[in-house]
C-alpha cells in the first residue's frame, strides 16, 4: 500500500508590519491580509508572521515557510500539513 503524499498548500499573504498586534484581517483579492506586530527589519516581521500563523493553525513553526517575498509585503507561504480549505477553516476566513 503506497504511502499518501504529504499534504501542503501555498498561501498568498499581504503583510502589514508594525501593527499594534498580529492578526488576520481578511482577504484582499487572492491574498490573505495579515497585520504583523514586528518591524520589517532583518527578517523579524517574517519570523513573527510564521510564528503567528503556525500558532493560529495549530502547527509547528517549521510547517510555515516563506517561499517568495522575503523583503516584500507580498509573500507566498508554504504550509505543510493542511490543505488550503483547512487553512481557511482554521483561520475563520
The pLDDT of residue 6 is above 90: no
Q: Is residue 1 part of a domain?
A: no
The pLDDT of residue 12 is above 80: yes
pLDDT of residue 49: 97
The CATH number of the domain holding residue 84 is 3.30.1200.10
* pTM greater than 0.95: no
Over residues 14-71, the pLDDT tens digits come to: 999 999 999 999 999 999 999 999 998 999 999 999 999 999 999 999 999 999 999 9
What are the Cα distances from residue 7, in Å, to 27, 80, 89? 23, 6, 16
Going through 1-93 in order, the beta strands assigned E by DSSP cover 8-16, 23-28, 31-35, 64-68, 74-80
> Based on the structure, what is the number of domains in the chain?
1
The residue assigned the cell 514586528 is 38
The pLDDT of residue 13 is above 80: yes
Upper half-sphere CA count for residue 44 (Cβ side, 13 Å): 9
Q: Is residue 54 part of a domain?
A: yes
> What is the distance between the alpha carbons of residues 29 and 6, in angstroms, rounded to a whole number?
28
The residue assigned the cell 488576520 is 24
Range of the domain at 19: 12-91
pLDDT top residue among 19 and 5: 19
Which of the four pLDDT bands, split at 50, 70 and 90, describes residue 3?
A: low
Amino acid at each position: 500500500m503506497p504511502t499518501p503524499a504529504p499534504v501542503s498548500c501555498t498561501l498568498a499573504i499581504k503583510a502589514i508590519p508594525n501593527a499594534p498586534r498580529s492578526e488576520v484581517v481578511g482577504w484582499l483579492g487572492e491574498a490573505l491580509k495579515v497585520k504583523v506586530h514586528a518591524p520589517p527589519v532583518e527578517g523579524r516581521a517574517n519570523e513573527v508572521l510564521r510564528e503567528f500563523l503556525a500558532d493560529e493553525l495549530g502547527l509547528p513553526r517549521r510547517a510555515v515557510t516563506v517561499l517568495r517575498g522575503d523583503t516584500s509585503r507580498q509573500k507566498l507561504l508554504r504550509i505543510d500539513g493542511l490543505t488550503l480549505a483547512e487553512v481557511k477553516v482554521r483561520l475563520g476566513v
